Structure 1
Amino acid sequence: MSEKVNQFDDIYLGLAPELGLLRLAQSGLGWKARKGDGLFTVRDADLKRTTWLRAARNFQLRIQLRDGRIVKFDGFQREDYEKLKDIIKTNYGLQLETKEMSVKGWNWGETDFSSGNLMFSVQDKDMFEIPLNEVTNTSLTAKHEVMIELGGPDGEGNAKDRYRKGDQLVEMRFYVPGTKAQEGEGEEESAANVFYNLIKNEADIGDAAPGDGIVLFSDTLCLTPRGRYDIDMFPTFLRLRGKTTDYKIAYTSIMKLFLLPKPDDLHVLFVIGLDPPLRQGQTRYPFLVFQFVREEETDVTLNLDKETIAEKYDGKLEQKYETRTYEVVSTLFKALTGRRVAIPSESFKSYHNQFAIKCSMKANEGFIYPLDKSFLFIPKPPTFIPHSEIGSVTFSRVGGGASSASRTFDLKFNMKSGVDYSFSSINREEYANLNEFLQIKKIKTKSMDEESTGRYVDMVDESDSDEDSGKRKRKTIVQDFGGDDDDGDSSPDEDFVAESESDVAEEFDENVSDSDGSGGSGDDNDNNDDRPAKKSKK
């Protein structure tokens, strides 16, 4: 005789946007998506507690499992309560508890940590909860302010990952005033610091178990975001620890690796591309740029035995390294992430026999590296330009005419997507080598000066005389159009925000005093000084 199965239609599983069918039998319960292969089951022996409460999508059945996990089913109607209560009591011998939520809308209350969740309550009623396995980072952004960042839980094959669509909460900040006495000590500690440490411990983003780390690189200089960090590498992730920040970065989120010599012949840059980007407040960092002294050496021993190196890492690592620091770091990242490390292209050398060209992107000075499959501008803002997405490249101020006196030229990448990237202040001596590299890579190029000169000739060749005031006016307009400000108009590059850094980032710089301070604000002050003084009113 088959057991009786009760079914509820149009039910959501957790944050899933797809509707499904929830079936409850004496042996357990199961949810199946209407479309696709979504399937979730729970045995009756794993059920510990059931709760009924109001949720965003009608009513919710919350089930706490014996291993501490919580499963949520949304979409129930009010009239389903009595039926569901009887089914749960008959099949599993559990009571369906009711829970009243706070709907006051207040933004102050109390917090508690329970069953792997951060609970926020108002007047003894829960208002919302945050699953701590969703917390990816926390930091003290002010004396009494704690920030937490939210994202998907780590690990491959997580069924929840495929449901992450649309808008998502990524950051929250808590103001925690006052102080608390430390346990066993007479000294007091700020309540914000206590709350911060609790989140780190409960969310498992604090220190890992002793002995789990593979290697630690201390006090490593990072140009973007600027500061010095400790890089603590583990088998599946790394921790980036600064003075006020502590990031956990899974190796699966590292998409690109670059090892590039700096044109000063003294340093080497190691660039890490991330997806999703690292976040500091409102600023996103899709690339991390570390700088190493070229001749600096390190002596490290990996916390790995020979069997692990041979089996797990296919012998790509060694137990002990005594060589240059940047070589050790790049080797470890390559082995642990499984990503290829891109190096400079042999098809390009600058006029000074370097792998990069000095230039400026807006107000930021840096270097652009012509690589085999892309261009990369670093350090701020790091800009990645794949060859396959370039429609054409436009050179400006490289020809004759009024611009011939200039020692530099400009470069614009016209992307197929419609977004342009402009670089200025490039030494004129670099033009020949750069143009040759573009021809080798079969990237279409054009010169802005040739087009401007053509229009100039067509419009002023009607008469050699300047007596006609109308023609003189027309000639002046044409000369202004073909001047040095070819790229000074509203370039589409102004709309590029994903990889740019705003002034907000300075709040999070750990070594603000070390910054070069180049923000371009001095030009505004100079322009104000040139204005005529206002006459005083009598």
Structure 2
Amino acid sequence: MEVLTLSNCVLKSDASADTMVKISKDGIAIKTKDKTHVMTGDEIRDAELFYGARKMTMRIFGNCVYEIGGVDQNYTEELKRAFSQHFKINLYIKELEIANVLSGELGINSRNALEFRSKKTIFDVPVDDIEGVVDVRNELCISLKGMEIRFACDNRTVEEIKRSCSSMIDDEILKIEGLSLCYPRGKFGFVFFHEYFRMVGSSYEHKIAYKGIKSLHVLEKGHVNDGEKYVVIGVDPCIRQGQTMYEYVALSFDESEEEVNANDTRLKKEYSGMLSDIFVEIMQALCVIRPIRSVFEAKDGSRSLRCATKAYEGQLYPLDDCVIFLPKVFRLDLNVMTMVEFSRINLSTMQAKTFDMTIFCDKAYIFNGLAKDEFGGLEQYFHEKGIKARSEVIDDAISSEHESEEYEDDSIIVDSDE
């Protein structure tokens, strides 16, 4: 019995570089390092060849689609003859568009593949390989394993693609577009599904499972009754943008109001009110997590303390079990703090209107420019949490003339900060 053997191929679903393909009148056997896939002659419906990144690629259509790369061009005629004799299939070489590849028509072809074509096919992707389809702001995002493709297309095309892929993807519960993130920075749409949600931005898309949400903090930006809020989401595993890993996602909400419709038994059918409250209520229901809010109140009635750390200016939120710095998020848990040191406390008001604070954990974290009026409340906070605190003593014995000069210098610095 005549058998055609192809060696050193690559099966797409396995990515093994030593795949062997054997073709005979009884069918096709595809042997990888760990497994052998068999297609009988009756299963094979169609096949095609096209030029891939390395050598040629052969796609075989049966009960499922097998894509085999690394096929030597010298086997082209033998493959055509084998498919014709054994399976009565005309194996042809499909020409791909290589010039006008930025615009074309998008749709589902007769082989159940998402096809993007101009005069010729630019590329196509089997529907079975599509993990998600999301449309945000006139963009259709097709999620594959480890990558995504975005198209600008009309609503009719979007609905057609989503309908054709409906058996492979989850149904949307609800969608909220144009949310502002301060960490990582950017505008993202949040699309909620049954077990996860997607964050879709202009350059990145992230899929986050509800069970991967470890914390949810709701923090007022200013005074206690202000409508503007930060919502900080702790995610595990971290999301990645470029070379940066983000353990937290921080959203910034103003006082805008919104109406949102949902399609899930865990949620209300309709939501209306402040967008921040709607978002928190949805996250609380889907993630089954209790939002944590700040009860600390500063002298000026705000929930946070303005300060700076390294090159970042922001707000420090003392919470029940940690302190959080925003908008560049980092969190210090109280149970890992060994000591807190306050600096410049005993200087007169004429010399310093602010003080510094160092929190010792695995390393020292320094916060500069805390308002001097807040020292008492902050010291009391750490005392109640059982954190040892000390104050660095600075000699205040200076002449009145020198003190006046220091006051003038300090005034200049404060004015420049303002």
TM-score range, shorter chain: 0.5 to 0.7
Q: Does 1:50 align with 2:12?
A: no
Instruction: Report the equivalent of 2:331.
Output: 385
State the number of aligned residues: 382
Contact 1:252–1:337 (CA under 8 A) maintained in structure 2: yes
Range with bigger deviation, 423-432 or 324-333: 324-333
Q: Does 1:112 align with 2:108?
A: no
Secondary structure in structure 1 of the residue aligned to 2:218: strand
Instruction: Report the equivalent of 1:13.
Output: 11
Contact 2:341–2:359 (CA under 8 A) maintained in structure 1: no
- Letter in structure 1 aligned against 2:284: K
- Letter in structure 2 aligned against 1:63: I
Instruction: Report the equivalent of 1:260.
Output: 218
Secondary structure in structure 2 of the residue aligned to 1:56: coil
Instruction: Report the equivalent of 2:406.
Output: none
TM normalised by structure 1 equals 0.50
Instruction: Report the equivalent of 2:315.
Output: 367
Q: Whole-Å Cα distance in 2 between the matches of residues 366 and 241 of structure 1? A: 26
Higher relative contact order (CA closer than 8 Å, sequence separation 6+): 1
- From the superposition, tell whether residues 235 and 54 of structure 1 become closer, same or farther in structure 2 (CA, over 3 Å): same
- From the superposition, tell whether residues 88 and 214 of structure 1 become closer, same or farther in structure 2 (CA, over 3 Å): same
Q: Does 1:407 align with 2:353?
A: yes
1:369, distance to aligned residue in structure 2 (A): 2.7
- From the superposition, tell whether residues 131 and 257 of structure 1 become closer, same or farther in structure 2 (CA, over 3 Å): farther
Q: Whole-Å Cα distance in 2 between the matches of residues 96 and 392 of structure 1? A: 72
Unaligned ranges ≥5, structure 2: 396-408, 411-415
- From the superposition, tell whether residues 107 and 99 of structure 1 become closer, same or farther in structure 2 (CA, over 3 Å): closer
TM normalised by structure 2 equals 0.60
Contact 1:397–1:410 (CA under 8 A) maintained in structure 2: yes
In proportion to residue count, which structure has more strand? 2
Secondary structure in structure 1 of the residue aligned to 2:162: coil
Residues 26-67 of structure 1 show CA distances to partners (whole Å, capped at 9, x for unaligned) of 6765656426xx77666655543312222223221123457x
Q: Percent identity?
A: 19
1:272, distance to aligned residue in structure 2 (A): 3.8
Q: Whole-Å Cα distance in 1 between the matches of residues 320 and 81 of structure 2? A: 67
Q: Does 1:95 align with 2:117?
A: no
- From the superposition, tell whether residues 366 and 51 of structure 1 become closer, same or farther in structure 2 (CA, over 3 Å): same
In proportion to residue count, which structure has more helix? 1
Mapping 1:180-199, distance limit 5 Å: 195=153, 197=155
Q: Whole-Å Cα distance in 1 between the matches of residues 140 and 334 of structure 2? A: 38
Instruction: Report the equivalent of 1:356.
Output: 304
Contact 1:344–1:369 (CA under 8 A) maintained in structure 2: no
Secondary structure in structure 1 of the residue aligned to 2:194: coil
Residues 108-167 of structure 1 show CA distances to partners (whole Å, capped at 9, x for unaligned) of 66523354435366xx55555567837866777xxxxx9776643xxxxxxxx5xx4xxx
Secondary structure in structure 1 of the residue aligned to 2:92: strand
1:343, distance to aligned residue in structure 2 (A): 0.8
Residues 159-216 of structure 1 show CA distances to partners (whole Å, capped at 9, x for unaligned) of xx5xx4xxxx6677x8xxxxxxxxxxxxxxxxxx7x454763455399x99xx76567
Secondary structure in structure 2 of the residue aligned to 1:79: helix
Q: Does 1:343 align with 2:299?
A: no
Contact 1:137–1:247 (CA under 8 A) maintained in structure 2: no
- From the superposition, tell whether residues 387 and 246 of structure 1 become closer, same or farther in structure 2 (CA, over 3 Å): closer
Instruction: Report the equivalent of 1:34.
Output: 33
Secondary structure in structure 1 of the residue aligned to 2:284: helix
Q: Does 1:330 align with 2:280?
A: yes
Unaligned ranges ≥5, structure 1: 141-145, 153-160, 175-192, 455-482, 485-522, 527-538
Contact 2:260–2:272 (CA under 8 A) maintained in structure 1: yes
Mapping 1:445-456, distance limit 5 Å: none
